[in-house]
Amino acid sequence: MLRKLGFLTIGLFDESDPRRGHESTLEIIELGERLGFDSAWLRHRHLQYGISSPIAVLAAASQRTSRIDLGTAVTPLGWENPLRLAEDLATVDLLSGGRLNPGISVGPPMHYERVKDALYPDTASAEDFSYARVERLLAGVRGEPVTTFRGSEGFEQFSDRVQPHSPGLASRLWYGGGSLRSAQWAGEHGMNFLTSSVVKAEESPDFEAIQLSHIRAFRASHPEGEKARVSQGLVVIPTDSATPAQREKYSAYASQRLPRTLSPQGPARMMFAPDVVGSSAEIAERLAAHAAFREVDEVAFALPFTFEHEDYVQILTDMATTLGPALGWSPAA
């Protein structure tokens, strides 16, 4: 039975009119709340035509919604200063009333050799992109000391921990992992786990088997065991109320992306899950047979990157009114 239903969007925009694209994303989040979705997630896109500052967009969304959880899936920490990010996350979490669910990952920024001189002009060779960067963020969010001074200096008061502090935020931090080691590390550090439509083919070339092993490794390493939270993200496109033109577009999109799902891709041997397109009944049947889906009760289905606003409205409406109930989910009040 599916307990929580969410969606993920990249928030594409036209370079000549970026505001319209951002407004579209906010309208989609508002629609998600009206439809009863449990969560809405944004993905980072640096130096591209997608949302580069999800935290800022989610701050706006927090003032236009009242219930739906708001997350990032994911924030690549290689682009961030963990202490500063902890300040931003706590601020937005408080503004949202405790609805923020930050998802993060580590590793060097994409195309690091091209961007390092602009991103870290003085420290590029010294930056640590390991899990230690996550530990710095966790310390800041959890309220651990980040400086040796606390007290007064003249008329000003100083804290030794990140301010503002949002007490419940640490329990809502997610790690987005595609490897067995990431799954184990997230569990060992008491985080929640995001597993998406991309994994590393370390053990086999079978996507479902790989993802299932990650989920089980995470829970085996987590203090809460089987109760530890896992959210699965697949590209799922219901067509119940789609027009013939939309169905044709959706099928062409999935077909174009299918070849990359047939074998591990690139030196990192990345495996991609096939996009799931069809009626809600057909999708529910396919998911019921998906080995990893059977292990979770939370999902954040990814919206296709290149569709139009009206396509997202149709897809989300079908997800909430037809697909979700077919998976045992009930909309939030």
Residue-wise pLDDT for 179-215, tens only, equals: 999 999 999 999 999 999 999 999 899 999 999 999 9
Cβ(222)–Cβ(228) under 8 Å?
yes
**Sequence-separated (6 or more) residues with CB below 8 Å from residue 259:** none
Indicate which CATH number applies to the domain containing 264: 3.20.20.30
Span 165-183, mean pLDDT?
A: 97
Query: How far is 166 from 169, CA to CA, in rounded Å?
Result: 6
Residue 9 domain-assigned (yes or no)? yes
Our count of domains for the chain comes to: 1
Is residue 288 scored above 90 in pLDDT? Answer: yes
DSSP 304: P
DSSP codes of every residue in 75-138: EEGGGS-HHHHHHHHHHHHHHHTS-EEEEEE-SSPTTHHHHHHHH-TTTTTT---STHHHHHHH
Residue 163 domain-assigned (yes or no)? yes
Indicate the burial class of 15 (C-beta count within 10 angstroms; 0-12, 13-18, 19 or more). exposed
pLDDT for position 313: 98
* Whole-Å CA distances, 81 to 77, 87, 129, 188, 228: 7, 10, 11, 23, 28
Residue 58 domain-assigned (yes or no)? yes
* Full-model pTM: 0.97
Residue 332 domain-assigned (yes or no)? no
Which structural domain range is residue 251 located in? 4-326
pLDDT for position 159: 98
pLDDT for position 151: 97
Bridge partners for 112 per DSSP: none
